[in-house]
Amino acid sequence: MPSVAPHALRIPASAIRRIYDLAQGIDDVVFLNVGEPDLPVAPHVLAAGARAWEQDVTNYTPNGGIAPLRTAIAAKLRRDNGLDVTPDQVWVTAGGMQALHQAMSLTLDAGDEVLVPDPGYVNFAMTARHVGAVPVPYRLDPARGFRPDLASLRAAITPRTRVLLVNSPSNPLGTVYEAEVLRQLLDVAAEHDLWVISDEVYEQFTYGTPHVSTASLDTDGRVLSVFSFSKTYALTGARVGWLVAPPQWDALLRTAQEATVSCVNAPAQFAALAALEGDQQVVTDAREHYRGNLEAACDLLSRKGIRFQRPAGAFYLWIEVAHASGGDVSTWCERFLVKHKVAVAPGSAFGSQGEGWIRVSLAGTRDDVVTGLSRLPDRS
Ligand SMILES: Cc1ncc(COP(=O)(O)O)c(C=O)c1O
């Protein structure tokens, strides 16, 4: 039998998925383990998608996406993110995931290294491995609210390093980087001539600290920006996101898109366009819903004496359970699920720095968040 390509066997399995699979065999589980907004999609968005299907708008679209969507995204980026980009620089992708994949596949050759945050979103390492590259963790410093430890970052750079991955607001931490932090990261990237991939899929969900787009501080065109409709508009299954690329990447991305998805599902693009052009009250309401869940969760944890990282963005809570997990938080999460019927993500799934922590999603109902967290063991 022929063998599978060795690099494919190095794609790490997601430990969050293991919890999800285990939960399938258990009744009445409170799911706090996935970042899935429980809010309904706005009717005008659903109607736009349905209309496209009904009117048989089912042909291929241009590789980069339908023109009105690219134009609307470029206008949004100019208005809200301080990015001076043309529609040609906007590449509509199958969710933020495909934007990440395109960005990595076009900057990393086999064996090249990409610096990924630890703790950080599991899929950064998975995607890197999928393109044959090597994810190298850099430490986020708990003493600085999980902002990057620049010494650890510099120490991780080798002659094979090509890319620095930045994620603000962060999954799983909810940290939002101030302009000063982003400037420091851009300086490191410039010193070593690295690309920067900036994942901003949670840009709309911040609670006090304003979101700053890394590319708005970019002085020499080294930032590739990843955005998504998934979290902002509760459209996770529609699979629409976008990559902002340098202008000279036009031909490159045209062929890269053709070689992967050709284009994104046409009705989903029309739904995304309606989301962007319609009333943004749904986004405000979603933010207030997550903020309310966050306040309720923080109050409850404080009363239980449990330590946590108070997030400034995204919709997750990073909670320390080292008092109970005995050095193996992954096994502890499995036992907690079986005994207390609450699914949470083990922090170790997000990197070695996550041992002793769990990530809880605040994107569900208030009731689920409060019920699930009340079952955590108190810190005595
Ligand atoms: C940090 C981060 N980036 C990207 C994604 C991918 O999002 P999408 O559903 O748009 O592919 C996620 C999803 O959870 C995420 O947390």
Q: Which residues belong to CATH 3.90.1150.10 in the chain? A: 6-41+281-374
Cα 345 from Cα 354, distance rounded (Å): 10
**Is there an atom of ligand 1 within 6 Å of 230 CB?**
yes
Closest atom, ligand 1, to C-alpha of 99: 11
Residue of 118, 121, 197, 359 with the most ligand 1 atoms within 8 Å of its CB, for mutation: 121
Quick check: helix, strand or coil at residue 320? Answer: strand
Under 8 Å CB-to-CB from 143, ≥6 apart: which residues?
Answer: none
pLDDT tens digits for range 175-205: 999 999 999 999 999 999 999 999 999 999 9
pLDDT tens digits for range 358-375: 999 999 999 999 999 999
Cα 348 from Cα 325, distance rounded (Å): 11
pLDDT tens digits for range 121-168: 999 999 999 999 999 999 999 999 999 999 999 999 999 999 999 999
pLDDT(329) > 80:
yes
Residue of 168, 201, 224, 265 with the most ligand 1 atoms within 8 Å of its CB, for mutation: 201
> Tell me, what's the pLDDT at 354?
96
**CB neighbours of residue 151 within 10 Å:** 11
Closest atom, ligand 1, to C-alpha of 314: 16
pLDDT tens digits for range 73-104: 999 999 999 999 999 999 999 999 999 999 99
How many Cα atoms sit within 13 Å of 49 on the Cβ side? 16
pLDDT tens digits for range 275-317: 999 999 999 999 999 999 999 999 999 999 999 999 999 999 9
Ligand 1 centroid to Cα of residue 242, in Å, is 11
Closest atom, ligand 1, to C-alpha of 97: 11
Q: How confident is the model at residue 34 (pLDDT cuts 50, 70, 90)?
A: confident
Cα 23 from Cα 269, distance rounded (Å): 33
> Tell me, what's the pLDDT at 15?
82
Return the CATH superfamily for domain 6-41+281-374.
Answer: Aspartate Aminotransferase, domain 1 (3.90.1150.10)
Candidate CATH numbers 3.40.50.300, 3.40.50.720, 3.40.640.10, 3.40.50.10860; the one for domain 43-277: 3.40.640.10
**Is there an atom of ligand 1 within 6 Å of 117 CB?**
no
Cα 156 from Cα 137, distance rounded (Å): 8
**Is there an atom of ligand 1 within 6 Å of 225 CB?**
no
- Per the structure block, which two tokens stand in for 15? 């430990």
pLDDT(118) > 70:
yes
Residue in 216, 144, 202, 138 with CA at minimum distance from that of residue 169: 202
Residue in 174, 148, 241 with CA at minimum distance from that of residue 201: 241
Under 8 Å CB-to-CB from 289, ≥6 apart: which residues?
Answer: 39
Residue of 168, 198, 230 with the most ligand 1 atoms within 8 Å of its CB, for mutation: 230
How is 149-214 classified by DSSP, letter by letter?
Answer: -HHHHHHT--TTEEEEEEESSPTTT-----HHHHHHHHHHHHHTT-EEEEE-TTTT-BSSSPP--G
- Looking up tokens 């994620």 gives 167
Q: How confident is the model at residue 56 (pLDDT cuts 50, 70, 90)?
A: very high
Residue of 171, 211, 315 with the most ligand 1 atoms within 8 Å of its CB, for mutation: 171
pLDDT(380) > 70:
no
Mean pLDDT on 49-70: 98
- State the average pLDDT for the chain: 96
C-beta of residue 264 within 8 angstroms of C-beta of residue 239: yes
**CB neighbours of residue 352 within 10 Å:** 11
Q: Is the peptide bond before 148 cis (omega within 30 degrees of 0)?
A: no
Ligand 1 centroid to Cα of residue 354, in Å, is 19
Q: Which residues belong to CATH 3.40.640.10 in the chain? A: 43-277
